[in-house]
Amino acid sequence: YDNTIFIYTSDHGDSLYHHSLYEKHCMFEMAAKVPLIIRYPKALPQGKRSSALVSLLDVPPTLLALTGQTVPEMWNGISLLEAFNGKNSPDRIVFSEFYEAHNGSYQLFPHAKNLPMRMARYQNYKYVYTHGFIEQLYDLKNDPDELNNLALTEPQANRAPLDKLRLATLNDWKVDERPLFEVKTKRRGARVEFAWQPLAEVGEYILYRSATADPLQATEVGRTTANQLTDTAATAGTSYYW
């Protein structure tokens, strides 16, 4: 009993008519949040509670860390040992994804909409991107019932977290209805020119630049409704991610 790692958790929650919904099919807390209890007296303190943002992807790395194994670098999850010790990163973002929200799953859009969605939790914020539908941003500290969608009611006042979480959520997320498109670049000293074939379904293009592959380190270069944009602030001879 004392040498066994016990983990109690579950699949997704159930809305139980919260927001007039049932089952999952959404990213509200009732459906997205699940229990996670880990017991291992040999290495973990008893009765310790943590409010850190964690994911079920963290369970396998935690098991490896508790048993003295090496966690593969390609794994997306992290060991929760630091969270148990109160050293969790306040800047961490965790994701939840519901891809197969289509084929008439929503009676509101039968046989009409493919609505894959992805959610990002960061500090007090929750951002939800639903392909082909409105985006959502909630401040769970001041709005725990998720009734005020800041992306609709106060988008300018919440521009910074909205842009940050949108970029982090869409980064490297492949959706069939959102195909990648080719962008041609041309460097002229410190100027980098970008051009692409316009997409009929796109209303605005946003260009970001980062010195690292981390999307949270990126800064916005500019926005346009045309099919070209120039970065005039890039340092000549420096490698970037755009």
**Residue 129 burial class via C-beta count within 10 angstroms: exposed 0-12, middle 13-18, buried 19 and up:** buried
Nearest partner of 55 among 26, 75, 78, 71, judged by Cα: 78
Give percent of the chain with pLDDT exceeding 90: 40
- Over residues 46-96, the pLDDT tens digits come to 888 888 899 999 999 999 999 999 989 888 888 998 777 767 788 889 999
List the single range of 109-118, 144-153, 210-219 with lowest mean pLDDT: 109-118
**At residue 177, does pLDDT exceed 70?**
no
Q: CA-CA distance, 208 to 222, in Å (whole number)?
A: 7
Nearest partner of 78 among 53, 108, 115, 97, judged by Cα: 53
List the single range of 96-100, 159-163, 181-185, 231-235 with lowest mean pLDDT: 96-100
Nearest partner of 6 among 71, 52, 83, 62, judged by Cα: 62
Nearest partner of 233 among 206, 210, 205, judged by Cα: 210
Return the higher-pLDDT residue of 115 and 75. Answer: 75
Say what the pLDDT of residue 98 is. 81
- Over residues 143-156, the pLDDT tens digits come to 999 999 999 999 99
Q: How many CB atoms lie within 10 A of CB 151?
A: 19
Give percent of the chain with pLDDT exceeding 70: 91
Buried-state track 10-31, b at ≥16 Cβ within 10 A, e below 16: eebbebeebeeeeebbbbbbbb
210: DSSP letter: B
**At residue 112, does pLDDT exceed 60?**
no
